[in-house]
């Protein structure tokens, strides 16, 4: 049975587009969200994660090159990532990870904070299940990874809205 995800959009939040009071503080941080419509029927979370990993949009190194035909995701080879590589996480843990990374000891400009609430924290809260990409073995790094200082990846499945969001928060 084929459970295909339909890519819907890819909002990108670049911290340097916001006005930090001291002129620095954004630390080259950004959040890239790829949103998909869930396939009809009720595939399991594992089926949905499998479909995500198989989707062409998943092959993105997040280094500005965009989606590629090469089998890379972030700094890893795609074939080293499986549904089992993702660990279920609860809402406070998912929100806490992103919030700690985003603020990094620096208060955020109010408009950026509002944008993160709308695009990140609300979908985390509303998701019916949440997964975080777990640690991968050293040999999972592709030939030019790692390139990011911090790299956080969440998959948010929202059965009420029929959506999946692949959320990557990183700095480069």
Token pair recorded at residue 64:
């500005």
For residue 151, is it within any domain? yes
For residue 30, is it within any domain? yes
Contact of 140 with 82, CB cutoff 8 Å: no
With cut-offs at 50, 70 and 90, classify the pLDDT of residue 151.
Answer: confident
Which CATH number does the domain housing residue 122 bear?
3.40.1000.50
Contact of 72 with 59, CB cutoff 8 Å: yes
Residue whose structure tokens are 């029929």? 162
Pairing of the two strands 12-14 and 29-37: antiparallel
For residue 1, is it within any domain? no
Average pLDDT value for residue range 39-57: 91
Structural domains of the chain, count: 1
For residue 157, is it within any domain? yes
For residue 33, is it within any domain? yes
pLDDT in tens, 112-127: 999 999 999 999 999 9
With cut-offs at 50, 70 and 90, classify the pLDDT of residue 27.
Answer: low
Q: Is the pLDDT of residue 153 over 60?
A: yes
Residue 157's domain comprises 6-171
Average pLDDT value for residue range 136-158: 80
Q: Where is 102: in which H helix or E strand? A: helix 91-103
**What global pTM score does this model have?**
0.91
For residue 34, is it within any domain? yes
For residue 100, is it within any domain? yes
């Amino acid at each position: 049975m084929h459970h295909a995800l339909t890519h819907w959009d890819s909002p990108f939040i670049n911290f340097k587009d916001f006005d930090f009071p001291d002129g620095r503080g954004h630390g080259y941080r950004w959040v890239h969200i790829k949103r998909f419509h869930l396939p009809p029927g009720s595939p399991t979370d594992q089926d949905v994660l499998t479909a995500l990993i198989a989707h062409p949009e998943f092959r993105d190194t997040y280094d500005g090159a965009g989606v590629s035909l090469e089998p890379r995701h972030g700094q890893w080879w795609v074939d080293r990532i499986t549904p089992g590589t993702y660990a279920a996480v609860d809402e406070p843990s998912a929100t806490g990870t992103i919030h700690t990374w985003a603020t990094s000891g620096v208060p955020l400009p109010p408009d950026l904070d509002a944008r993160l609430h709308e695009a990140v924290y609300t979908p985390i809260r509303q998701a019916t299940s949440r997964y975080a990409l777990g640690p991968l073995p050293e040999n999972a790094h592709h030939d030019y990874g790692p390139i990011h200082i911090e790299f956080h990846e969440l998959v948010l499945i929202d059965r009420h809205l029929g959506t999946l969001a692949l959320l990557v928060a990183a700095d480069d």
